[in-house]
Amino acid sequence: NEVETEEVSALSQVNSHVNNLRDDSIRESLTVEEALKNAPDGEDGAIIVPKVVGE
C-alpha cells in the first residue's frame, strides 16, 4: 500500500490561515480582589491550589 507523492508539495500548514490572532489591547478587567473573592484559598494575591504534579 503506497501512495505516489512525488508531485505533491510539502506544507507546514493545512490551511491558509497562519497566525490569525487578534491584536493585544488594553481593556477593563477584574481587580485582584474581584478575581480572588470566589477562590477557595488565596495568599498574597495568588490562588492556592492543591499540588497535583509529582505525586
Q: What is the pLDDT of residues 13-31, one digit of tens each?
A: 777 777 778 889 999 999 8
Report DSSP letters for 4-25, one per residue.
Answer: --TTSPP-S-SSS--S--PPP-
What pLDDT is attached to residue 4? 92
For the record, the C-alpha cell of 10 comes out as 510539502
The strand pairing partners of 43, in sequence order, are: 46
Tell me the pTM.
Answer: 0.38
How far apart CA 14 and CA 1 sit, in angstroms, is: 24
- pLDDT tier at 42, thresholds 50, 70, 90: confident
Single-letter residue type at 6: E
